[in-house]
């Protein structure tokens, strides 16, 4: 009964099975295999009749060989000789299917095989490979497109920031870049200088030889000047025959030396067709916190002074000596907060007053406008000193008298400065320097910060009490 059930199970199983007996040569090596058993599922899967196979060897059934013959024989031999199971996939071209075969030993010379149709799996893998290949091609196309787009963007960017004629950076680039460079110079306390130069009598070149020759002169000038500077300095064509060199980390002394080198080179150079041509130079080192407009204006003014002085020369900014290192745009700092609302508000107003005075100075306003502004700022300082002393008394600041004496000394000195300026014994820059650097900023940063811990503690106590 059990044997019959086993036979029926083998015969009717939905899984394809077959059993084979190995045939050995004289050396004990299997060289062919006889079909012993196979079931209906095997016949359905491989599209072959069992009666055509039973008790026949592979070579009797396939005298010309069969698909995957060498692979079959190698794996079957491994199962018989080494008594191990193995698995492989083979493509049956005759039935257009991929078959996965599991080969396993049953006894010394008998092996069994289990067969599975994996055609769908291979089709999916093939489709996946196809999709992967398509994705690869699409990615490659996308990369190529991205590369072309980057190249075009670079071209557009170059058009936006490069001068088309000379290839130098243009004014648009300078406007974008200069604020970052000025911020870096302020942060690192590094010098930053500017050279502006303009070709002398360039209009004559265009009038006599025409604009094409003039364009060649501009290109030659750009190449000459560019060859005489080094990183991080860079040359910009502002427009027409005017150029500017920005020199990060360079003092006015180095900028003057570079400007003179370029001036001499241009003076000696013989341009094709037109011959010799000269240029006039203006040089200015930027003051800490100075705006770009103010810095540029000083450089440009020095260049026009060089023109007026006879051309073909280098002039430095006159204001370089007169500003006495006064900052041009003072910004409020967090460390100036005293904790007292009134004192901080008045300090902010005084900082704005200092900026207003510096603006008048740089704008070279008339004396009739400057002195009323000075008097207005002094009145505001006097009121602030009085209010500050009252607050220090009310809060019980222990060094009140010492602080009040500092106020008196500063006021006495500023009125002496004012009197000397009005008598013609003192430069305006010295009066402004004292008001800005000593009376306002210096006093806030030095004397006032001594009572800040006290007023900040008082402010904290008041806040806690209110809760």
pLDDT value of residue 325 = 42
Catalytically annotated residue among 3, 70, 164, 241:
241
> Other C-beta atoms within 10 Å of 113: how many?
20
pLDDT value of residue 364 = 59
Of 64, 75, 68, the closest CA to residue 20 belongs to 75
CA distances from 161 to 169, 170, 173, 226, 245 (A): 6, 6, 5, 17, 15
CA distances from 310 to 83, 307, 318, 389 (A): 107, 6, 17, 58
- 407-410's contacts with Cβ under 8 Å and 24+ in sequence apart are 410/438, 410/439, 410/443
Across the strands, what pairs with 193?
247, 285
pLDDT value of residue 466 = 60
Structure tokens at 263: 């001036």
- Confirm if 210 and 152 have CB atoms less than 8 A apart: no
pLDDT value of residue 15 = 93
Provide the whole-model pTM. Answer: 0.44
Tell me the three state secondary structure of residue 289: coil
> Other C-beta atoms within 10 Å of 63: how many?
8
CA distance 315 to 69: 95
Q: Which residues have CB under 8 Å from 240's CB, separation 6+?
A: 202
Tell me the three state secondary structure of residue 382: helix
Q: Which residues have CB under 8 Å from 250's CB, separation 6+?
A: 191, 192, 193, 233, 258, 285
Q: Which residues have CB under 8 Å from 87's CB, separation 6+?
A: 100, 101, 102, 103
pLDDT value of residue 366 = 61
pLDDT value of residue 326 = 46
Of 80, 120, 124, the closest CA to residue 100 belongs to 120
Catalytic annotation on 241? yes
pLDDT value of residue 281 = 97
**Domains of the chain and CATH, by start:** 2-117 (3.30.450.20), 169-322 (3.30.70.270), 334-466 (1.20.120.50)
CA distance 59 to 36: 14
pLDDT value of residue 322 = 45
Query: Rg (Cα) of the chain, in Å, rounded?
Result: 47
Q: pLDDT of the chain along its 467 residues, tens only?
A: 677 777 788 888 999 999 999 998 888 888 888 999 999 999 999 888 988 899 999 889 888 776 777 777 787 787 888 888 888 888 887 788 888 989 998 888 898 999 999 988 888 777 777 777 778 777 777 777 777 777 666 655 555 788 989 999 998 889 888 989 988 998 888 999 999 999 999 999 999 999 999 999 999 999 999 999 999 999 999 989 999 999 999 999 999 999 999 999 999 999 999 999 999 999 999 987 777 888 998 899 999 999 988 999 999 987 554 444 444 567 788 888 888 989 989 998 988 888 887 777 666 556 667 788 888 989 999 999 999 999 999 888 898 899 999 899 889 888 888 888 888 776 677 777 778 877 888 788 778 888 888 888 887 777 666 65
pLDDT value of residue 395 = 86
CA distances from 245 to 174, 201, 214, 236, 311 (A): 10, 21, 21, 6, 19
pLDDT value of residue 14 = 92
- Confirm if 314 and 256 have CB atoms less than 8 A apart: yes
């Amino acid at each position: 009964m059990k044997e019959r059930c086993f036979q029926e199970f083998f015969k009717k199983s939905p899984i394809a099975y077959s059993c084979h007996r190995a045939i050995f040569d004289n050396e004990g090596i299997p060289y062919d295999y006889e079909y012993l058993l196979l079931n209906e599922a095997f016949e359905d899967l491989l599209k072959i009749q069992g009666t055509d196979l039973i008790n026949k060897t592979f070579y009797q059934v396939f005298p010309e060989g069969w698909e995957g013959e060498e692979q079959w024989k190698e794996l079957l031999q491994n199962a018989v000789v080494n008594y191990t199971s193995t698995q492989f996939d083979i493509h049956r071209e005759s039935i257009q299917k991929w078959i996965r075969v599991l080969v396993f030993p049953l006894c010394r010379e008998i092996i069994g095989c289990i067969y599975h149709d994996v055609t769908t799996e291979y089709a999916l893998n093939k489709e996946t490979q196809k999709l992967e290949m398509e994705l690869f091609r699409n990615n490659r196309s996308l990369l190529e497109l991205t590369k072309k787009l980057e190249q075009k963007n670079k071209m557009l960017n170059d058009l936006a920031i490069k001068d088309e004629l000379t290839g130098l950076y243009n004014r648009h680039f300078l406007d974008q870049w200069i604020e970052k460079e000025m911020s870096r110079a302020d942060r690192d306390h590094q010098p930053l200088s500017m050279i502006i130069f303009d070709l002398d009598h360039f209009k004559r070149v265009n009038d006599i030889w025409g604009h094409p020759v003039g364009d060649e002169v501009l290109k030659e000038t750009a190449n000459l000047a560019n060859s005489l500077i080094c990183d991080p300095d860079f040359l910009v064509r502002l427009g027409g025959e005017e150029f500017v060199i920005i020199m990060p980390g360079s003092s006015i002394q180095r900028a003057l030396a570079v400007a003179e080198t370029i001036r001499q080179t241009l003076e000696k150079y013989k341009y094709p067709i037109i011959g010799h041509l000269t240029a006039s130079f203006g040089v200015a080192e930027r003051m800490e916190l100075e705006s770009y407009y103010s810095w540029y204006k000083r450089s440009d003014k020095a260049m026009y002074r060089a023109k007026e002085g006879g051309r073909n020369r280098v002039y430095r900014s006159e204001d370089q000596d007169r500003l006495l290192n006064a900052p041009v745009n003072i910004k409020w700092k967090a460390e100036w907060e005293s904790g007292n609302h009134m004192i901080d508000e008045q300090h902010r107003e005084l900082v704005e007053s200092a900026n207003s005075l510096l603006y008048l100075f740089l704008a070279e306003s008339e004396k009739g406008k400057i002195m009323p502004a000075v008097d207005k700022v002094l009145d505001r300082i006097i009121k602030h000193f009085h209010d500050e002393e009252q607050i220090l008394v009310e809060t019980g600041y222990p060094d009140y008298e010492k602080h009040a004496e500092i106020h008196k000394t500063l006021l006495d000195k500023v009125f002496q400065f004012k009197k000397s300026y009005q008598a013609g014994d003192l430069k305006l820059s010295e009066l402004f320097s004292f008001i800005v650097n000593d009376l306002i900023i210096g006093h806030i940063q030095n004397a006032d910060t001594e009572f800040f811990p006290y007023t900040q503690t008082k402010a904290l106590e008041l806040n806690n009490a209110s809760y």
